[in-house]
Amino acid sequence: MRNDVQIRDSLPQSEITSGGDIDLHYQCIGKRTMAEGDSLYVRVAKKKIKYERIIEYIIPDRRNEHGQYYNNYQMERDPERFQDNLWDSVRFKNPFDFPMTTAPAAIYVKGRFSGQQISYWTDPGEIATIPITKALSVRTVHGEQELPDSRGTEYIFGKRHRLAAVQGTVKVHNHRNKKVTMVIRRRFSGELQEAEGNPVETLLKKGVYSVNKRNELTWTIPLGPGESVTLKYTYLVYIYWP
């Protein structure tokens, strides 16, 4: 171990406002004098902002880079990655002129603690969504099935693949006595053919080296007390068939 690390008294202004080529942010808090054993808590910034309460329903992609479903053993090793997630969340825009860096975020309602999660890097003006707690009074069902007579065979990079059409169904029922805003995110591998409810389709970076594109469909739907919605979508996917 070496103890000759040098600590600079101050940083140039260019380094304080920007991390340069990498996503780092340095926030000047002025000079402080501390004795041995002292601890320091500094509030960097504070603002009142408008926020929106939503319920975010995330349905993960359960296909690997070959278009095949992960087997039960693989999903049991990392259940958090593969299970559907339904969260009461808050959504807001970063109001500061500097990025909100990764840090714990605590949520209080009328002075009472409601939950704590990680707030990830959010640039100025970018939208952040922070989950508070699991949403238990909104029920969901999701399933997929391969459409009959939709299979074809193609060779990609010399390997045989089945081209299959898959139809998915998402059902959501609001058991609460008040209106909620549902944000449904379905991540999948393949080429979207059609989808009910006019979702926003986003191409994800994760699938750049896969035979199939990795996508995310996002629906934003208001649901009144006792209301439900059913959404269907269809996509084509190449499945490696050795």
Instruction: Give 110-154 pLDDT, tens digit per residue.
Output: 889 988 889 999 999 999 999 999 999 999 999 999 998 888 898
Say which CATH topology domain 52-84+136-240 has.
Answer: Immunoglobulin-like (2.60.40)
Query: For residue range 156-174, what is the model confidence (pLDDT) as tens digits?
Result: 888 999 999 999 999 999 9
Averaged pLDDT for residues 204-219:
89
Question: CB count, 10 Å around CB of 9?
Answer: 5
* Percent helix, strand and coil across the chain, each to the nearest 5: 5, 50, 45
Q: Determine the Cα–Cα distance for residues 54 and 218; give it in Å rounded to an integer.
A: 13
Averaged pLDDT for residues 76-87:
89
Residue 11's pLDDT is 37
Nearest to 116 by CA among 131, 101, 127: 131
Query: For residue range 1-58, what is the model confidence (pLDDT) as tens digits?
Result: 333 333 333 333 333 444 456 678 888 888 889 999 999 988 888 888 899 999 999 9
Cβ contacts of 174-178, under 8 Å, gap ≥ 24:
174/137, 174/138, 174/223, 174/224, 174/225, 174/226, 174/227, 174/228, 175/137, 175/138, 175/139, 175/226, 176/137, 176/138, 176/225, 177/225, 178/225
What is the rounded average pLDDT for all residues in the chain? 87
Asked if 221 and 229 count as a contact pair (C-beta separation under 8 A), the reply is yes
Domain boundaries, the chain: 52-84+136-240
Query: For residue range 171-195, what is the model confidence (pLDDT) as tens digits?
Result: 999 999 999 999 999 999 999 999 9
Rounded alpha-carbon distances, angstroms, from residue 104 to 92, 101, 130, 132, 139? 16, 10, 10, 12, 28
Which of the four pLDDT bands, split at 50, 70 and 90, describes residue 108? confident
